[in-house]
């Protein structure tokens, strides 16, 4: 695949690329750049963890990227997930790996790295100290939004280490592309600034949009605003710690149907509508392919459109009713989630991990 095609693949699922020219230069000089995404093991997996990541990874693998998935156990510990119980956190990390396998992620082609292993060297902590010297306390406080906190929160001293640890990870893993959610933007920008100061390899930042919670965003809101307003991120994104906002990778068909039927989905409104957000980010493979919405003849018969953009226009024009959209999204989610649900039903090891994790007390 040529360089321009690779750039277009990355842009197809990105909200922001910093910078496109640097991404192009990277592909011109490196056939197999390294990209990473990181996760605090901290609860039962929702669809943004399973479906969205699998969707993005599949696209990156097709263009020769070597992905790394980072299980940030010590980050979850610092952030008081599972009340800071490292045994619980690491069990959740092993459960996360099972979710990825069940989503079809080829773990032979995707490297899984634990923070506990990456941090186990003086080289790591030397880098960490250098990162800390290159920034200010005020800047670190502004960056705590990457861990779901605000500057006004009462923070432990260890939580102030978090942004510098995340930046250190990028250099320790020799990352070429930071491919994380837009809510991690502040850490990634800090990494680029640190790279300039020390002449370290500067990562390209390819930030994907966030998956909305079932509550959606109110009329007049713009998903693009999430890039610059961390408070909006915490209010509207899907979160595994907010059960009413999330669809999980283990939900039954009836559970999915019930949640989708109660989701925010006003007539003729696409922006801030979580159902269109789910379709765009994780459920539609090719946005230029035709789509058929099945519905009874008495309601106009099947609706056929030639692309995802045409589907959005049909909805905004009132040619597609919310009830029919909800039925379509329910079926798409069931098809995507069923293999994961079945994996955990049939695989004794996976089931044991899931049962253990869902019994833990979730903390923020």
Domains and CATH numbers, the chain: 3-207 (3.40.50.620), 223-357 (1.10.240.10)
User: What's the CA angle centered on 175, arms 162 and 283, to 5 degrees?
Assistant: 90
Q: What is the pLDDT of residue 125?
A: 97
Q: How confident is the model at residue 234 (pLDDT cuts 50, 70, 90)?
A: low
pLDDT over 90 at 241, yes or no: no
Q: Which residues have CB under 8 Å from 248's CB, separation 6+?
A: 44, 45, 46, 47, 240
Over range 183-206, report the average pLDDT: 96
Which range is least confidently modeled, 138-152, 248-262, 298-312?
138-152
Three-class secondary structure assignment of the chain: CCHHHHHHHHHHCCCEEECHHHHHHHHHHCCCCEEEEEECCCCCCEHHHHHHHHHHHHHHHHCCCEEEEEECHHHHHHCCHHHHCHHHHHHHHHHHHHHHHHCCCCCCCCEEEEHHHHCCCHHHHHHHHHHHHCCCHHHHHHHHHHHCCCCCCCCCHHHHHHHHHHHHHHHHCCCCEECCEHHHHHHHHHHHHHHHHHCCCCCEEEEECCCECCCCCCCCCCHHHHHCCHHHHHHHECCCCCHHHCCECCCCHHHHHHHHHCCCCCCCCCCCCHHHHHHHHHHCCCCCCCEEECCCHHHCCCEEECCHHHHHHHHHCCCCCHHHHHHHHHHHHHHHHHHHHHHHHHCHHHHHHHHHHHCCCCCC
Q: What is the pLDDT of residue 244?
A: 78
Cβ distance 251 to 337 under 8 Å? yes
Q: Which residues have CB under 8 Å from 185's CB, separation 6+?
A: 16, 205, 207, 227
Q: Does pTM top 0.85 for this prediction?
A: yes
Q: What is the pLDDT of residue 228?
A: 58
Task: Decide: residue 307, CB within 10 A, 0-12 exposed, 13-18 middle, 19+ buried.
Answer: middle
Q: Angle 157-172/185-198 helices, nearest 10 degrees? A: 60
CB neighbourhood size of 305 (10 A): 18
Q: What is the pLDDT of residue 335?
A: 96
Q: What is the pLDDT of residue 129?
A: 97
Q: What is the pLDDT of residue 232?
A: 67
pLDDT one-digit tens code per residue, 91-106: 999 999 999 999 988 8
Average pLDDT, the chain: 91
pLDDT one-digit tens code per residue, 82-136: 999 999 999 999 999 999 999 988 888 999 999 999 999 999 999 999 999 999 9
Closest CA to 204 of 25, 336, 2: 25
CB neighbourhood size of 302 (10 A): 12
CA–CA separation, 248 vs 62, rounded Å?
A: 27
Q: What is the pLDDT of residue 223?
A: 66
């Amino acid at each position: 695949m040529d360089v321009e095609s690779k750039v277009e693949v990355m842009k197809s699922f990105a909200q922001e690329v910093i910078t496109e020219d640097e991404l192009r230069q990277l592909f011109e000089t490196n056939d197999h750049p390294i990209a990473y995404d990181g996760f605090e093991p901290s609860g039962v997996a929702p669809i943004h963890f399973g479906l969205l990541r699998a969707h993005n990874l599949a696209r990156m693998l097709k263009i020769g990227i070597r992905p790394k998935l980072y299980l940030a156990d010590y980050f979850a510990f610092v952030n008081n997930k599972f009340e800071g119980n490292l045994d619980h956190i690491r069990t959740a990390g092993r459960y996360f790996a099972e979710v990825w396998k069940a989503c079809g992620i080829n773990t032979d082609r995707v490297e899984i790295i634990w923070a506990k292993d990456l941090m186990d060297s003086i080289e790591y902590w030397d880098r960490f100290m250098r990162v800390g010297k290159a920034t200010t306390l005020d800047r670190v406080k502004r960056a705590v939004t990457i861990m779901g906190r605000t500057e006004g929160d009462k923070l432990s001293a260890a939580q102030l280490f978090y942004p510098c640890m995340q930046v250190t990870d990028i250099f320790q893993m020799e990352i070429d592309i930071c491919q994380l959610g837009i809510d991690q933007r502040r850490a990634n920008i800090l990494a680029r600034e640190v790279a300039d100061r020390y002449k370290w390899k500067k990562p390209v930042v390819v930030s994907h949009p966030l998956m909305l919670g079932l509550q959606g965003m109110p009329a007049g809101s713009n998903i693009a605003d999430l890039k610059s307003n961390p408070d909006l991120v915490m209010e509207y994104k899907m979160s595994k710690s907010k059960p009413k906002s999330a669809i999980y990778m283990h939900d039954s068909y009836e559970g999915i149907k019930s949640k989708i039927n109660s989701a925010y989905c006003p007539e003729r409104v696409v922006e801030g509508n979580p159902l269109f957000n789910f379709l765009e980010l994780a459920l539609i493979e090719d946005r230029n392919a035709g789509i058929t919405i099945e519905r009874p003849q008495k309601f106009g018969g099947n609706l056929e459109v030639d692309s995802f953009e045409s589907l959005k226009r049909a909805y905004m024009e009132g040619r597609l009713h919310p009830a029919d959209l909800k039925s379509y999204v329910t079926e798409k989610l069931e098809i995507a989630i069923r293999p994961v649900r079945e994996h955990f039903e049939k695989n004794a090891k996976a089931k044991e991990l899931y049962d253990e994790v869902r019994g833990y007390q979730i903390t923020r």
